[in-house]
Amino acid sequence: MKEDCKTKIAQTLCKLNIDGLLRWVNKNSLLVVTYHGVYDKFCRGTLPLFTHLHVDLLREHLKFLKSNYNVISLSEFTSCLKERKPWPERAALITFDDGLRNNYEVAFPVLKEFDLPAVIYLTVNYIGTDKLLWFDELYLLLKKCLEDAVKTELLAEYLGPIPDSCDIGELYPICSKRLKNKSIMERMEIIKRLKQLACIEGNPILSEPFKFLSWEQVLEMKSSGLIEFGVHTATHRMVSELSPDEWEKEIVAPKNKIEKIIGNTIDTFCYPNGVPDVDFFQEHEKFLKSRGYVCAFSAHEGLNSPKYDQYRLGRISVGSDISSEINFFRLNTAGFISFLRTKLKFIT
Ligand SMILES: [Zn+2]
């Protein structure tokens, strides 16, 4: 179905207040919204990445959440969990994954404007560094290769078959999916080869949207009382690709590091990639529990009913595609898409 058709359907359903009805039906469930990067300097289309959202859309979402939900803080949620008491009706939690600098520069002022709490899941070893995540680096490299008209055959040598004359919007998802399925060594080798084809280093404008927070920014957000933090591993490795002897350094060491720097207990985790039984398994859930984590957020799309699963909490992911369109957002956050999937088996 085409996007404008989906948008029209969403608009009609919202006019009929289907989202309002579903919010009432699901009033005892917890909504967790996932964002990543937020930008304000680039117009839509120049950054065609799902994980980067224009600030105007974020503002629209926050306004909606503020009027239709009880937006709770991470501490409020974890105290409900520890004391085994229910969260308030229509509870919602706002999360940001990765720990990008624009969370401080662009999203934080908007959260303050609405006085809404949020949680940022930090890729701990990247905080305060100039490092970029491999998939963001891949995006920049591919974009540069296309601009420099690097021959498709050369790219294909490292990335596998590539359609001729495709743009970055088509090329990036194909390549990131292929690299995700490779081992970390192979992935890094391909990135290294691509760097030899296209030079992006020393171009701060290009890499700006993908840079990480500094610890000073983390501390300033913490002292506002609005922002809390959790662990998104040390280096954004999918936990399923870690060998058990790497668990300590990717899961436990980052927890200790944030606790030491900010002086608060850190006891929530967010899986990179996060698809249950693909990117993490029960053995990881058990390990998290044994190391003092009280819950973990996954990429399972859906609301959390009162009988939720503590170490695979579902979320609603919002990015720069149709998921951020306000009517679609209203339906999706009310549980409409997961309702279609689970109850009607409409979408598989
Ligand atoms: Zn992530």
Question: Ligand 1 centre from 125 Cα, in Å?
Answer: 13
Neighbours of ion ligand 1 (CB under 5 A): 97-98, 272
Question: Ligand 1 centre from 344 Cα, in Å?
Answer: 30
Domain that holds residue 277: 3-131+212-342
Do 146 and 102 sit in the same domain of this protein? no
Looking at 155, 186, 206, the residue that finishes a domain is: 206
Q: Let me know if residue 348 belongs to a domain.
A: no
Do 184 and 199 sit in the same domain of this protein? yes
Which residue do the tokens 């790497």 mark?
Answer: 246
Write out pLDDT tens, residues 257-307: 999 999 999 999 999 999 999 999 999 999 999 999 999 999 999 999 988
Write out pLDDT tens, residues 26-35: 999 999 999 9
Do 15 and 64 sit in the same domain of this protein? yes
Q: What is the mean pLDDT of the chain?
A: 90
Question: Ligand 1 centre from 164 Cα, in Å?
Answer: 30
Question: Ligand 1 centre from 232 Cα, in Å?
Answer: 7
Write out pLDDT tens, residues 91-135: 999 999 999 999 999 999 999 999 999 999 999 999 999 999 999
Question: Ligand 1 centre from 92 Cα, in Å?
Answer: 20
Put simply, whether the predicted model's pTM sits higher than 0.75 gets the answer yes
Contact 91, 37 (CB under 8 A): no
Q: Let me know if residue 243 belongs to a domain.
A: yes
Question: Ligand 1 centre from 98 Cα, in Å?
Answer: 5
Of the candidates 38, 322, 39, 113, the one whose C-alpha atom is nearest the C-alpha of residue 330 is: 322
Whole-angstrom distance, CA of residue 310 vs CA of residue 6: 33
Do 42 and 127 sit in the same domain of this protein? yes
Question: Ligand 1 centre from 13 Cα, in Å?
Answer: 32
Question: Ligand 1 centre from 236 Cα, in Å?
Answer: 6
Do 336 and 317 sit in the same domain of this protein? yes
